[in-house]
Amino acid sequence: MAPPPNLETILIERLSEGAVLFSYNRPKVSNSFTPKQHHGLREGLLWARDESAIRTMSPGRANIAVLFNVSRLLRYPKVLTAAIRRASIGWECTQPPSNFDLIYVHQDAYFRTLFMPLGLVPEGGSSYTFLTLMGKPQSNTLTVGWRQAFRA
């Protein structure tokens, strides 16, 4: 087995022979996602894809951490598990419904989008996935209402 890549902004921890954990490594800036972090995560996901022993991955110990070519995530050959522990805001809020095989949410987690106050449209396909998964009232509360829509 090849060791995981040593990345500056993404930590990769082997949980067992068949599972790895990806975590943000930029806590001083609230782990806002940067292009450098995007490239690091991509490199880590490609490494995990090619490691035959790895069967499942969880991107993120604190908040979920995935920004990857969405079409590649949809075709990713291994189980992707999201663990949402605290605030899931913006892009982090829109990705779990459509891009993960399993989603675990801590009781203190909450979800929020900030699209409308910023004059933006919902991102990451959330206008479709939220409506499909939650129904119109909850979807509108989360995408148009711009307030914390619900707790786990």
10-114 CATH: 3.90.226.10
Is 0.75 topped by the overall pTM? no
- C-alpha–C-alpha distance, residues 83 and 18, integer Å: 17
Residue 143 confidence (pLDDT) above 50: yes
Q: What is the mean pLDDT of residues 87-112?
A: 77
The pLDDT mean for the chain works out to: 75
- C-alpha–C-alpha distance, residues 56 and 21, integer Å: 9
Give per-residue pLDDT as tens, 47-86: 988 998 888 776 554 444 444 445 566 678 888 888 888 7
Query: What is residue 116's predicted lDDT score, i.e. its pLDDT?
Result: 66
| Amino acid identity, position 24 | Y
pLDDT-derived band at 114, boundaries 50, 70, 90: confident
Q: Are 68 and 26 in contact (CB under 8 A)?
A: no
More confident residue, 119 or 60: 119
Instruction: Name 146's Cβ contacts closer than 8 Å, sequence gap at least 6.
Output: 112, 113, 114, 115, 116, 117
pLDDT-derived band at 122, boundaries 50, 70, 90: low
More confident residue, 47 or 28: 47
Query: What is residue 60's predicted lDDT score, i.e. its pLDDT?
Result: 55
